[in-house]
């Protein structure tokens, strides 16, 4: 099931919603697409780490998401980037 209270679990797109359902058993995580016209759900990608904050390109050819697979994080500052 999708946690609809989690603002980082879905992305709206033309014709539907890309979403990340809760992990079930050992099958891992996946990104799915709900077509709001047909009501059908399609699995887009299966992932090993825990994905969140999906966003979709305007042409819907690319999905960008963050992934949590370690208990550490890095913060970097890039100066004079061009």
Q: What is the pLDDT of residue 71?
A: 65
Q: What is the pLDDT of residue 17?
A: 93
What are the contacts of 30-33 at 24+ separation with CB within 8 A?
A: 31/63, 31/65
Q: What is the pLDDT of residue 46?
A: 87
Domain ranges of the chain: 10-68
Q: pLDDT tens string for the chain (82 positions)? A: 454 556 568 899 999 999 988 776 777 888 899 999 999 999 998 887 778 888 899 998 888 888 776 666 666 777 775 6
Torsion, Cα 36 34 15 6, to 10 degrees, reads: 100
pTM above 0.85, yes or no: no
Q: What is the pLDDT of residue 70?
A: 62
Q: What is the pLDDT of residue 81?
A: 59
Within 1-82, strands assigned E span: 10-13, 16-19, 29-35, 41-47, 50-56, 63-68
């Amino acid at each position: 099931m999708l946690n609809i209270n989690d603002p980082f679990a879905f992305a709206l797109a033309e014709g539907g919603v890309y979403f990340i359902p809760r992990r079930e058993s050992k099958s891992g995580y996946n990104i799915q697409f709900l077509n709001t016209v047909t009501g059908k759900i399609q699995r887009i990608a299966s992932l090993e780490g825990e994905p969140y904050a999906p966003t979709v390109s305007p042409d819907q050819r690319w999905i960008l998401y963050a992934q949590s697979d370690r208990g550490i994080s890095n913060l970097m500052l890039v100066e004079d980037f061009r």
